[in-house]
Every structure is written in C-alpha cells, then in structure tokens.
Structure 1
Amino acid sequence: MEQQLQRLLDRQACEDVLIRYGRTLDWLDQEGQASCYWQDAQIDYGFFKGSAVDWIPVVMGLEEASPRRWHMTSGIIVEVNGNKATSECYGLSMGSSKNEEGGLIATLFGGRYLDELEKRDGQWRLSKRTYIADWSQSFPDGLDAMVDSGFILNILQITQAGHKAYQPL
C-alpha cells in the first residue's frame, strides 16, 4: 500500500509541474517557469532546441510580447517509474498581438507535450520536453468589443511580472 501511495503522490507532483508550466507563463513568472525544469533539461519546440536555461528567456520574451496570453493543460497521462516519469498531455494556448488598426488578434494553438520528468532531491521537474503543434487558428480578440458593448468583465492586463492579482502557489 505504501508503494501505491508514493506512486500516486509522485504522479500528482508531476501533474502539478505540467499545469504550473502554463500558469507561470500566463502570469509572466520567470522564477516559477524556471522551477518547472531541471537546468539541464532538453527542450525541443522545433524553432528552439536546447537546454532549459537557454529556453526560459526565449519563452518569457515571447509571452511578454503578447498583451494577453492563456495556457491550459489537459488529458494528462503520467507513468511513474521510480524517480523518472514519462508524460503526454494536450495543451491549448492563446497569445494576442496587435493588428494594423491597433486592435488585438488572438492566435489559438493546439498541440501536445511529450515529456520526461525526474525526481531529484525529492522534487519533480521536467528533464526533457518536446512540443508537437497540431493546429492553430487566428481570429479577432472579442473581449474589447464586449466591454465596448456594455458587457463588462474583469479583464487583466498582465504586461509585466508581479501583477497584484497573482498568488504564487
């Protein structure tokens, strides 16, 4: 029973890393993003292949350039084997950019992450990540139009790290 419980705890810790990845990007939390990887982790997004140490400034720069961003991880499958684990999950992400008229265009990406994780000194982090893009779609960002029509929603403008609404977990 103790082995089964430890396996469940390890699996949950791996899932937490995978979900924290997107959350720290959304809030521009570079330190939190770095906590998802071992420094020697190998990262392959196609346009970038290298170590996590080199990846983090690249991905944070991309996210900082987007006025709005949003990441969601789902369909997580984790197989734990001692202090190593493999994982596959789906990822949806959206990033916005300004169009020629100054409005926002949103691009939604759908893909999957093929990951390896390692537990070192009691902590799980990514040791290898490969991203596979499956599709993307661009469309006008409708939030501003909704606000202009009188349908008011809480909309955050996260343009730099340390937003007052962010609560690191």
Structure 2
Amino acid sequence: MTTTSAKLQRLIDKDEITELVHAYCNAADRQDHEKMRALYHEDATDDHGAFFKGLAIEFIDRLPEIQAPMQILHHNVTTLNIKFPNSAICEHAEGEVYILAFHQIATDDGPMDLLIGGRYFDRYQKRDGKWKFAHRSVVADWANLHPQSQVNLDNDIIRGSLIGQPGADDPSYAFYQLFQRGQR
C-alpha cells in the first residue's frame, strides 16, 4: 500500500470508528439495545464501574434494568482521540473519547439531574471489514448532581416543540426513514 493509500485508508478507518462512537451515544440515549448489540464484537468487554464489569453483551442484557429510572439520557462526544498502530494494515485501534452525559433519573422524591464529564477508554477491532468495540471503559472526571431536576419541558419558550425521549416513541423515528431502531 502506498503512503497516500495508507493515509486514505486510515482516514476511512477513523471515520468508521467515529460513526461507531456516535452510534453508541444514539443507542444509549434512545435505549435501543438491539442497535447497541450491533456495535460490539461478541467477545467484547465493558467496564461501567459499579454498574457492570464483564462481557458487553451481558451489560446490554442488563441495560433495561439500569435505564428503567432514566427519563432523559443525552450523551455528547466532545473530543475524540483515535490512535492506530504504525503498520500499513490496521485491524485494531484505541480511542480516548471525552463525553458530557446528562441523565434525568426518576427517584421516590421526584426527578434528579446528573451531568457527568468523563471519558471512554476504547479498544476497537476491525473484523470481517467492520469496526466494532472490543472493550470500553467509562471514566468519570467530574459530576454535577441536582437532587431536584432543573429540567423544565413545560416552559413557554419550548411549548409545542417536539420533545425527545428514550425508546421507540422518540419523535426521530417518525421523522427519519434512514435512522431506524436496531440499525447502525
């Protein structure tokens, strides 16, 4: 492979990994567990701290329980650092992904807000021409907790707007033809 060809392939690989990372955020926020499964290799591992540590597929199996009290999920990728080995053909890469993740969580005392600034430590592998997660760890760098939610979706300024929500009832599924549940 020529230097130009190698650089072009590296850009293609980086773009595919970037799409993978963004698809994860969409799957998490829409609670689309079928889509989430499609993002990991079958033997991939996941480390979500106290929530879970083990095979990613087992983590995804537990997501309905973990996400049940979450009324709003909103993951935002801010900085994406992807590194490849110094070889012409790459079938693995590593990523440090900075995120801001907002969670509105139902509690017995009413909804609370949690905004987390953190990072994902990722390992990606390309198998059968497809990049997927081989491992993902979650690292919290800071957290902002409000025991009483600051979210106000009844405010006049947004009254009448479409309101996003986890699950199949999110307005995006009625709008888009190309973005469908369960599909990467």
| TM-score bucket (shorter structure) | 0.7 to 0.9
Quote the sequence identity (%): 26
Q: Is the 8 A contact 1:25 1:60 kept in 2?
A: no
What TM-score do the two structures reach when normalised by structure 2? 0.80
By how many angstroms is 1:65 displaced? 2.3
User: Counterparts of 2:14 and 2:164 in 1: how far apart (Å)?
Assistant: 34
Q: Is the 8 A contact 2:118 2:138 kept in 1?
A: yes
By how many angstroms is 1:152 displaced? 2.1
Partner residue, 2:92: 84
User: Counterparts of 1:97 and 1:162 in 2: how far apart (Å)?
Assistant: 18
Q: 1:101 to 1:155 in 2, by over 3 A?
A: farther
User: Counterparts of 2:25 and 2:167 in 1: how far apart (Å)?
Assistant: 16
More strand by share: 1
Partner residue, 2:18: 15
Aligned residue pairs: how many?
A: 166
Choose 116-125 or 155-164, whichever is displaced more.
Answer: 155-164
Q: 1:107 to 1:36 in 2, by over 3 A?
A: same
User: Counterparts of 2:34 and 2:107 in 1: how far apart (Å)?
Assistant: 31
- Per-residue CA deviation, residues 1-50 of structure 1 (Å, 9 max, x unaligned), is 11111110001111111111111111111111112211211111221110
Q: Is the 8 A contact 1:67 1:97 kept in 2?
A: yes
Partner residue, 1:35: 38
What TM-score do the two structures reach when normalised by structure 1? 0.87
User: Counterparts of 1:159 and 1:20 in 2: how far apart (Å)?
Assistant: 15
Partner residue, 2:105: 97
Q: 1:96 to 1:155 in 2, by over 3 A?
A: farther
